[in-house]
Amino acid sequence: MTLRDRILSVFSDSAFRAPVLKLLSGTGVAFIVAYLANIVLLRLYPDEFWGVADYIIAWVSILAPVASLRYEDALMLPKDRRQAAHAFILAIAAVLVSATLLFTFLALSDSALAFFEEKKAGRWMLLVPLALMANRFAKISELWLSRQESFGNISAAQVVQSTSMVSVRIGTGLSTPGPGGLIWGFIAGFGLSTLGMSRRVVLTLRASLEHRPTLREFREVASRYRRFPQFTMPAALISGLITRLPILLIPEFFDMGVAGQYSRGFSILFVPLSLLAAAVAQVFFVRAVEANRSGTLGAFAGNVHARLVLMCFWPTVILMTAGADIFQVLFGEAWRDSASYLGFVAPWILFSVVASPLTRLFDVLERQRLELLATVLMLAVISATLFYGGQTGDIKVTLLALGIGGTVIRLGQIMLLLHLAGTSLTAMIRPYLSYIVWSLPLLGGIFWITTLGMPILTTIAGTIGGLIFYAFIAFREKLI
C-alpha cells in the first residue's frame, strides 16, 4: 500500500478515527492560530488585563451548564430525531431565558456590581450574559451537528471562532488595549462561529421536526430527560467550578496581576489540550452509546483513554521540565512566572483533560447521580486546597496544594469511569507507565540543557524531543 493510500484509508475510516481526524483538522488550525497569536497578545496586554478578562470568562464557563439546564446532552440519546430536535430547542430557549434574567439582575443590583468592582471587573460583568449566549449557542449547535455527523461543518466553525477572536483581540490591542478587547474578542469568536453553523443547523432542524412542535411534546421531552437538569447540570456546574475556581479565588488573596500570570499559564496548556479533548468527546459520546449497546464499551473506553493520555503527555511534561525557558522565548521574560505557576498544576490539567471526554460515560450509563457525588467531592478538595494555600499568602504554596489535590481527585475520577465502563485496571495504568519510561531519557537531556542558560536552545530541544517521542511511540505501538 502506498503512502497516499494509507492516508486516504485513515480518513475513510467510518468508525471513530475519521470523524475525530476531521474535527481535529479544524481544531488543529484553530489551535495554531490561537497559539501563535499568544506570541503577540501577551506582549500587547499586561497580566492585569488578562486577569480581569479571564475572571469574566471564568464566570461564563461556570454559568454555561446552568444556562442551558444541560438539555443539549440529551441530543444523542433519542433514536427519534424529532425528540432530539425538541431537546435542542429546549436548550436554546433555556439559554435565552437565563441570559435575560442574569443581565436584569446585574443591571439592577448595585451591590453585585460593587462586589465585582473591588476586583476591577465591575462594569465588565455586564458582558457576561452576552458572552454566555454566544458560547452556549455555539456549543449547542456543535453538539447538534455532531448528531448529524456534520463534522466538517463543526471543524470549519472552530477555525472561524479562533480566527475571529484573535483578530478582534489583536486589532483592539494595537489601538486601545484593555480588558474589553479580550472579552469582546471572546464574544465575537463564538458569535461568528454560531453564524457559520446556522445554515446547516436550520436545515437539519427543519428536516428533523417535519412539522411544528407542540407544547405537549416539549413537556414530554423535558420530563423524559429531567435527569439532565436534576443531576447532570449541577454536576457540570461543579465541574466548571473545579477548573475555574482558582481564577475566581486567587484575586481574593492576591492581585489581578498574579491572577493573570496564573490564568495565562493555565490556558497555554489547558486550552489546546481541551480543544483536542472536545473533538474526541463529540465523537466519543456518539460511539460510546453504540459500544454500550453492543457490549464493547470497556475495550472502547480503554482505547480512547490511552490515546488521550498519549496526546496530552508530552506538552504537559515538557512545560513542567522547561516551561520557564519556553515561555521566555515565546511570550517574553515577563511571563516566566506564569510558567513556574503552571509547573505546579500541570499534572492536574493533564488528568482533567483526559477525564473530560470520559465523563460522557456517566450519561451513556445513566449514572448521573454518581457523577454529581463525584464532582461534589472534587469541589470540596479543590476548595480546601485553595483556601489553605491562600491563607499562607504564598502563591506557590497555594498552587502546589492545588496541584496535588487536583491530581489525586481527577485520577480517581478516571479510574472510577473506566471501572464503570468495564476497562481492566492494567489497561488503565499501562499508558502512564509506558510513556513515563520512554520519555525519561529525553526529559533528562532537556533538563540538562536548561542549566546552560540559553532559553532558545531549550525551546528547540523541547520541540525536537516531542517529535522524537511521538515518532517513537507511533512506531512502537504501530499507530502508523
Radius of gyration of the chain (CA): 22
Which CA distances in Å does 402 have to 123, 223, 329, 340, 476? Answer: 30, 39, 27, 14, 35
Nearest Cα residue to 151 out of 300, 279, 304, 13: 279
CA atoms within 13 A on the CB side of 103: 13
pLDDT of residue 11: 40
pLDDT > 70? residue 5: no
In the DSSP assignment, the letter for residue 110 is: H
CA-CA-CA-CA dihedral for 136, 141, 147, 152, to nearest 10: -120
Nearest Cα residue to 45 out of 165, 181, 246, 244: 181
User: Of 178-192, 195-209, 417-431, which range is least confident?
Assistant: 417-431
pLDDT of residue 26: 62
**For 309-366, what is each residue's pLDDT tens digit?**
988 899 999 999 999 999 999 999 999 999 999 999 999 999 999 998 888 888 777 7
pLDDT > 80? residue 249: yes
Q: What is the mean pLDDT of residues 46-55?
A: 94
Only one residue has cell 486577569, namely: 51
pLDDT of residue 24: 57
Supply the mean pLDDT for the chain. 86
pLDDT > 90? residue 290: no
Q: What is the mean pLDDT of residues 141-155?
A: 85
Number of H helices, E strands in the chain: 19, 0
pLDDT of residue 215: 87
Q: Which three cell numbers stand for residue 406?
A: 487536583
Q: How confident is the model at residue 73 (pLDDT cuts 50, 70, 90)?
A: confident
Amino acid letter for position 137: F
- Rounded Cα distance between 38 and 272, Å, is 12
pLDDT of residue 3: 38
Q: What is the mean pLDDT of residues 65-82?
A: 86
Dihedrals phi, psi of 69, to nearest 5 degrees: 60, 10
Expressed in percent and rounded to 5, the helix, strand and coil fractions of the chain are 90, 0, 10
Q: Which three cell numbers stand for residue 445?
A: 537531556
pLDDT > 50? residue 9: no
Nearest Cα residue to 69 out of 209, 216, 222: 222
pLDDT > 90? residue 210: no
pLDDT > 60? residue 16: no
E strand or H helix that includes residue 347: helix 336-358
pLDDT of residue 13: 45
pLDDT > 80? residue 12: no
**For 162-172, what is each residue's pLDDT tens digit?**
999 999 999 99
Only one residue has cell 501563535, namely: 36
pLDDT of residue 403: 94
Q: Which of 184-188, 234-238, 414-418 reaches the highest mean pLDDT?
A: 184-188
pTM of the model: 0.80
User: Of 9-18, 375-384, 431-440, which range is least confident?
Assistant: 9-18
Q: What is the mean pLDDT of residues 408-435?
A: 89
Which CA distances in Å does 363 have to 142, 221, 292, 369, 370? Answer: 18, 16, 11, 10, 10
Sign for the CA dihedral angle at 44, 47, 50, 52 comes to: negative
Q: What is the DSSP string of 405-416?
A: HHHHHHHHHHHH
CA atoms within 13 A on the CB side of 140: 32
The percent of residues above 90 in pLDDT, for the chain, comes to: 48
* Residue scoring higher pLDDT (382 or 234): 382
